[in-house]
Structure 1
């Protein structure tokens, strides 16, 4: 009841982890912490110098530097064929075995008011936020779910596909119109896959009779709030002043803190993972049909948070209205 003797639902020692966006920010912090827990880690990003630096840091943080292996791949994950290449390269490097865990951390935020941000930039946000995750999930699951004949089947540890989303998928904030829809799409994809994957998991339990995947699979999604990183610094330069006012309650966390909290939640077996109390409340207000981590606790918090948001949403709208009354139109209101 108090967590004593609880089984670790996310063991990583000796397992191979693929992390996209793994050379910076949260992705890099996840890579270093999983290296410290004994995982073999492959990091994927675009910039070679950052990838090489991250690999050297993982070697220094490794639980067992003589046994653990680390690798990096430079790729543009907005292209689906690049994701296929990454999975193939990791499988070849891993002596013919697919990665056991894939954690999608790639992406960046370009804030701004909807009419002020060019559509080309908004499409770029969808590509770098949603499609990098969807492309990697597609390449990963096609590999993991390839049927294996009964004669080749054996018991394998559970595999994990992890998305990195944002609390904005639950509670939109004015000034994030280019970014929030892409994160909401990831949340919807995660919920859909969490249902679809059970069909394959069901087939896996009957592996003695039918062709089935090589392992049971679980989907997870992490919903951080602000993360202190070079990307966050760039985001602050673009962010409208109204947006900064509306999110005053958001106290950004370090990448290391977010990674530590997320990994602990994965070890408890959680599905939708938030990293601070305000995030828990925002998630609870928008759970809808999503699977719960704890039926009683999540349900009670959902009731409470829906009462809280009866006041929060009108307050956000009133602040935006009053901002317009005081300051007029944005500097660049667009056409």
Structure 2
């Protein structure tokens, strides 16, 4: 349900050396990461409580299973009760210590503010009066289509199911996490983690995703804003003289997958405009388990904006702007490489769209 870069002819002989140097440094950096040099786990979940919205299928379910494998207590949230019940069996079966870990599911419509508040309250009660340690927002689905051919109500529904489910959930949990407490109640506590699941379409939009991409772009903007705002509250814990402070630091993260093989992806393919399929023809969708694994490993490294394949890295590098960097060296070099690659990519996408229109004329609602 996400784009990839089209085939790019290499005729930048004058820049070949520069690209080779950048690629070599990126490879060395990646190799060091794979060998574990200078790394420590910044996303410990053993014994902690994780809430995953959209956890009944796809990436959300895969992430829930893998966190259960790491010792987490897991709560999944979705609308359909039957899917929740079926998924819960797989998640329980993934537990590393079934006698100690706990699992729960909640049916809720997260487009409604009061439902998000209910979910967090229910989880807190289930968790012996303690709010969850990690909230991962995976809820949402994609309805591709050309903007003009898409009913306005569908445009609104996409914003509700993508942006507002995440924003509502974030608002509900942050009110809990950021409530100040008195010094007598302050104890050392591991950081809390709020994770959004976005899309590389927030970096590089593709024709045919007009209903979907703007909601993902809004989610990325919310993430960047919160990454700044949250430091106000984290700073309260470092004050020399403090009467009140938040109970724990909070970390914000956002995942940017590309295509994910799932029932939702199959549904998208049935209604996706033909031009969109052409523009993203080189996209090689990943399995939910693969995307979840790569994302969790990046969270363990403490990364903020997380992509799940090299093409996604390039797309991110082209659009980082003022977003916080995971690594100044890696992200700067990727940005340089992206600036060269995208000299051809964006004109190529526009040219393909133009040629499609010249060949087929004004698109109908079925194309």
**Range class of TM-score, shorter chain:** over 0.9
Give the Cα separation in 1 of the matches to 2:134 and 2:94.
19
1:8 and 2:41 are equivalent in the alignment: yes
Pairs aligned (count) = 334
1:152 and 2:149 are equivalent in the alignment: no
Give the Cα separation in 2 of the matches to 1:54 and 1:211.
41
1:49 and 2:82 are equivalent in the alignment: yes
Give the Cα separation in 2 of the matches to 1:213 and 1:25.
34
Correspondent of 1:223 among 231, 239, 256: 256
8 Å contact from structure 1 (residues 153, 207) kept in 2: no
Question: Partner of 1:260 in structure 2?
Answer: 293
Question: Partner of 1:304 in structure 2?
Answer: 337
Q: Offset at 1:333? A: 8.4
Give the Cα separation in 2 of the matches to 1:233 and 1:45.
19
Give the Cα separation in 2 of the matches to 1:332 and 1:61.
44
1:36 and 2:63 are equivalent in the alignment: no
Q: How far does the alpha carbon of each residue in 1:262-282 deviate from its partner, in whole angstroms, 9 at most, with x for none?
A: 000000000000000100000
Query: SS of 1:78's equivalent?
Result: coil
Query: SS of 2:278's equivalent?
Result: helix
Question: Partner of 1:83 in structure 2?
Answer: 116
Which structure would you say has the larger RCO, counting Cα contacts within 8 Å and 6 or more residues apart? Answer: 2
Q: 1:311 to 1:5 in 2, by over 3 A?
A: closer
Q: 1:61 to 1:314 in 2, by over 3 A?
A: same
Question: Partner of 1:66 in structure 2?
Answer: 99
Q: 1:207 to 1:257 in 2, by over 3 A?
A: farther
1:288 and 2:321 are equivalent in the alignment: yes
Q: TM-score, normalising length from structure 2?
A: 0.89
Give the Cα separation in 1 of the matches to 2:310 and 2:165.
28
1:178 and 2:184 are equivalent in the alignment: no
Query: SS of 2:149's equivalent?
Result: coil
- Structure 1 residue runs of 5 or longer lacking an equivalent are none
8 Å contact from structure 2 (residues 236, 242) kept in 1: no
8 Å contact from structure 1 (residues 35, 62) kept in 2: yes
Question: Partner of 1:192 in structure 2?
Answer: 225
Q: How far does the alpha carbon of each residue in 1:36-76 deviate from its partner, in whole angstroms, 9 at most, with x for none?
A: 11000000000111111111111111000000000000000
Give the Cα separation in 2 of the matches to 1:296 and 1:170.
20
Q: How far does the alpha carbon of each residue in 1:222-257 deviate from its partner, in whole angstroms, 9 at most, with x for none?
A: 000000000000000110010001011211000000
- Structure 2 residue runs of 5 or longer lacking an equivalent are 1-28
Root-mean-square deviation (CA), in Å?
A: 1.3
Pairs within 5 Å for 1:65-144:
65-144=98-177
8 Å contact from structure 2 (residues 149, 364) kept in 1: no
Give the Cα separation in 2 of the matches to 1:157 and 1:220.
16
Query: SS of 1:206's equivalent?
Result: coil
